[in-house]
Chains A and B, each alone.
Chain A
Amino acid sequence: MKRIGVFVCHCGTNIANTVDCANVAEVAKDFPGVVYSCDYKYMCSEPGQVMIQEAIREHNLDGYVVAACSPRMHEPTFRKCAERAGMNPYMVEQVNIREQCSWVHADKTKGTGKSIDITRMGVAKVAQNEPLFSTTIPVTKRALVIGAGIAGIQAAIDIADAGYPVTLLDREHSMGGKMAQVDKTFPTLDCSACILTPKMVEAAQHPNIEIVTYAEVEAVDGFVGNFDVTIRKKARYVDVNKCTGCGLCSEKCPKKVASEFEMNLGTRKAIYVPFPQAVPNKPVIDAKNCRFLLDGKCGVCKKVCPTGAVDYEQKDEVIVERFGSIVVATGFEQFDISKYEEYGAGRIPDVITGLHLERLMNASGPTMGKIKRPSDGKVPEKIVFIKCVGSRDEAKGRPYCSRACCMYVAKHATLIKEKIPTSKSYIFYMDVRTAGKNYEEFYARTQNEYDAQYIRGRVSKIFQVGDKLIVRGEDSLLGRPVEIEADLVVLAAGMDPQQDAKDLARTLGISYDQHGWFTEAHPKLRPVETHTAGIFLAGACQGPKDIPDSVAQASAAAVKAAGLLSKKELTAEAQTAGCNEAYCSGCGLCVAICPYKAIELKRISERVHGGTRERQVSSVNQGLCQGCGACSVACPSSAMNLKGFSNDQILAEVDALCQR
């Protein structure tokens, strides 16, 4: 029989107020196996731990139970404490008499009773515990960054600077992400391209960075330190090694289509680079619009290309590469404004979004930086902005704040006034949120120096009369209806997660919230980690963010990723599954249920009646196993078991709880 200790913590008064700790310790003395038991004010404190260690030595304990706060809080503390006294750390069980007892049951008799029950449960479990040992796994010293917007670029550069090779992947043809579409950035009004392009070039020229654009992650196998990532490099129909980026092909291509980069306000060709500063600056053929690829007629680009780079036969290429860590930086999508029927969004051409306006203001945009209405090219005089479109709106399923719109609207109003001095901007808002550094000052200038008129209230309807847009709403400060005859309406569309974010999350095995934003491991203390070891988050894929926040988070994720890569080896989970080969029938049910593909069937030979016999049994890869225990339940012969949560341990807990 194991010699077990019980340590009951008061947690100051947090537990002691509603649980008679001394009584719990006293009753525990009679539990089977318990040779020592005591209570103390703070078990997690230094003196508390010293006390436990002394008791371990003095009473020659094989294991102990600490009745205290949640094991989600201090389990590592008490495991380390055991280790320091020479006890295997897995011989410790922590039972939760704070979060799940003293704090939720005000009645001291009841609280004490429940504490006794769950302490008995812990003792019964420890009596079944076995020492466990972690294995080590090697680390592949390479990182993958998914998404080459500003967050991905920053993360890649930081990891590369730390000395590790990085593959920076994007599904678009060029790096740059949303920031590439933006004209100027708040609150400094730097030109976006002027600060982004050097970053793109730096990444592209960095000896440790490999840029893979027009590619998607198809599958991720493996585990922290050793992810095997299947990447599909989509056919570009252009051999990037031969192409010099001269641009002749695009010039001569006869097929014009609406440009996604220009928010459909301008056109591009079927063979094209999305924008002039694109990196890599090599064109791609859009197979859906290429006349040659559609019906074999044309072929102009192949004829004019001086280096013979155009290759209509090119196929997608699928590669598998191994990475030690992954940074996800897939960003956001602009909210689809056509959900706002009442604003005529998507129907009335002069009701546009913030990103449309960015393109209309950009010197290399479709209007060469002249702000003109999409419908008739007229220069607008009266501009109405509506904030929180697709943000803070329960009815549209977007209860969250998109965080950047307040500032970009202020920026737009400022820039419009500079470009069209006779113009006047009206801004409908719910609140103005300007929490960043120098943001409030910027907003004040927009009002005071640039004459933007802020109207607190909601717009109920927008409709067209002649060439004017009638904006009808309410001024909720004055409590009266307002109507403005506008030339242009700009909706400050909020941020949505990428439409296929959930698919990527499933591929990666990371979690996401009800909207599709990826979830961090802890909202305050682990903001760039995911629940899946080795995968980190950067930028707006985790939730709406502006550029400074995205960059800061990207550097944080890079430090985490590089920190992981700097390790010689990783310690694998010790609480893993294991198969008792004597019982295993080789049915393979466990193989199918394991979400990590950690189980394989192997052949063993054994001696039976003097001869040898071959048979199949299952075997668990200790590096891949994450310890979920699914296999142990699927196994019909109880051959598979989970260390740390074994059948015997859990049954002992059940028995202890049912004991009356």
Chain B
Amino acid sequence: MSAVDEKKVNAAGQPDPNWEPNIVGFACNWCTYAGADLAGLSRMQYPPNVKLIRVPCSGRANPQFVLRAFQKGADGVLVAGCHPGDCHYATGNYFTRRRFLLFQRLLEFSGIDPRRFQARWISGAEAPKFRDVVTQMAEEVKALGPNRKLREEL
């Protein structure tokens, strides 16, 4: 069980130096999930903080899911899909773009730093971009420390 224990925030909720952020990622099957697979095939290295949930399209990511992640203790949420114009389902990511721009503002309004919630476009060929996005996000969220806003008492 040591592997699990290691990721715990210390009891007082203080960001101890060994603390690692937990980031939930929603990745569309056709672009970003494929890009992440390609990063693997190319043996690129990046920190393990972002864990991907595979969805058919970034347009399947409901803001409700994002909210739930923060409620349940996620420190950051990434939504990533095909570049606008290249959606496998033609238009899905246009909706994602509009919806999540608004949502990012709304979260900011309720005290969540916009760096904790990002929507990014990563194609199936952009393995380096995938690596960079998750690395950067892990670093940023780590610097911000654990998220307390919206969080249910556990």
Contacts and interface: CB of A to CB of B under 8 A. Distances in A.
Interface in B74-95: 74, 86, 88-92, 95
Interface residues of A, number: 54
A70 B37 contact: yes
A103 B36 CA distance: 11
A379 interface: no
Contacts of A511: 86, 88
B6 A109 contact: yes
A660 interface: yes
A380 interface: no
Contacts of A647: 62, 64
A23 interface: yes
Nearest to B152: A658
Contacts of A527: none
B14 interface: no
B68 interface: yes
A116 B3 CA distance: 8
B72 A628 contact: no
B55 A595 contact: no
Given A595-B91, A595-B92, A105 B45 contact: yes
A655 B57 contact: no
Interface in B31-66: 33-34, 36-41, 43-48, 51-57, 59-62, 64-65
B12 interface: no
A115 to B, nearest CB: 8
Contacts of A629: 55-57, 59-60, 92
A632 B22 CA distance: 27
A192 B37 CA distance: 45
Given A633-B59, A660-B7, 18 more contacts: A23-B3, A27-B3, A104-B43, A114-B48, A506-B90, A628-B88, A628-B92, A629-B55, A629-B56, A629-B92, A632-B62, A633-B60, A642-B56, A650-B60, A650-B62, A651-B65, A657-B69, A658-B22
Interface of B: 1-4, 6-9, 22, 24, 29-30, 33-34, 36-41, 43-48, 51-57, 59-62, 64-65, 68-69, 72-74, 86, 88-92, 95, 99, 131, 154
8 contacts: A101-B48, A104-B39, A104-B131, A629-B57, A633-B59, A633-B60, A650-B65, A660-B7
Interface of A: 20, 23, 27, 70-73, 96, 98-101, 103-106, 109-114, 116-118, 121, 506, 509, 511, 531, 575, 593, 595-596, 626-630, 632-634, 642, 645, 647, 650-651, 653-655, 657-660
